Amino acid sequence: MISRFANPARFTRISTTALPWFGWSTLAVLAVGLYLSLVAAPPDYQQGETVRIMYIHVPAAWMALGVYLFIAVASAVALVWRHPLAEIAAGAAAPIGAAFTFVCLATGSLWGRPMWGAWWVWDARLTSVLVLFFLYLGYIALLNAFDEPSRGAKAGSVLALVGVINLPIIKFSVDWWNTLHQPASVMRLGGPRIDIAMLVPLLVMTVVFVLLFLTLLMLRMRAALNERKAFALRLNSSPRRARAAGPEGMVPVRRAAR
């Protein structure tokens, strides 16, 4: 079953058909989400209009964790089963996840300034998310740190798997330590504590972020596959140039007839 979906050619065919659907769906749901979150949703009785930052901040935070978990699972598959596309998927997802994490930190800072009176505090939740951002950057750096791509992929996979320990720290930091960051309001055992008028726009914007991630992931994976094809073609053409070269390594050129 895994080998069926490990074929790059099959992935290219499927993504060619799926990409337009995902792209247009992202735009359509984004239009609905922006209307619900900026127009239809009411202001908070304490935070006022500032609460609208939540509709970007919270989905970005969820995606930051979800994308890293995706990278860790893909890295494990690449290491254990040597799935051809798993390594490409993990590398393609990393910059997207780093962007989500940056958006989470930036919007959290904008939200924290009027609520806490400071752009940044060394809160347990904020600090652990900052560590997650550095894990993303470290993974991307390792992928490009070696001349041989396979070595970089293995080193990055190990880092991704080790970094998984930070995910439960981020999730439960507000429960384990006394922090300024509010506890979970949606994903909790007792059910959401947020009003339905705010919950629906939040969930719609989360769908937007998921669709955006899948669209960008397919685009980046296709680009990575094309780069590998081009690299393979260059390698295959090198022996021909070597055989065509003269005794001094120069390719002979025909002289024009006089």
Query: For residue range 58-97, what is the model confidence (pLDDT) as tens digits?
Result: 999 999 999 999 999 999 999 998 887 999 999 999 999 9
Residue 90 located in a structural domain: yes
Phi-psi region of 162 (alpha: psi -120 to 50; beta: other; left: phi over 0): alpha
Tokens of 30: 């984004």
Residue 18 scores a pLDDT above 60: yes
What is the model's pLDDT at position 191? 59
Residue 244 located in a structural domain: no
> Of 81, 72, 133, nearest to 103 (Cα)?
133
Residue 37 located in a structural domain: no
Residue 253 located in a structural domain: no
| pLDDT averaged over every residue in the chain | 86
Residue 168 located in a structural domain: yes
Mean pLDDT on 2-30: 88
> Distance between CA atoms of 258 and 46, rounded to whole angstroms?
91
Residue 246 located in a structural domain: no
pTM of the predicted structure, to 2 decimals: 0.86
Structural domain tally of the chain?
Answer: 1
Phi-psi region of 191 (alpha: psi -120 to 50; beta: other; left: phi over 0): left
Domain, as residue range, for 165: 52-238
The DSSP bridge partners found for residue 44 are: 48
Residue 256 located in a structural domain: no
Judge residue 102's burial from the number of C-beta atoms within 10 Å of its C-beta, 0-12 exposed, 13-18 middle, 19 or more buried. Answer: middle
How large is the angle between the packed helices 124-143 and 84-116, nearest 10 degrees?
150
Residue 69 located in a structural domain: yes
Predicted confidence (pLDDT) per residue in 135-172, tens digit? 999 999 999 998 888 899 999 999 999 999 999 999 88
Give me the numbers of helices (H) and strands (E) for the chain, helices first please: 8, 0
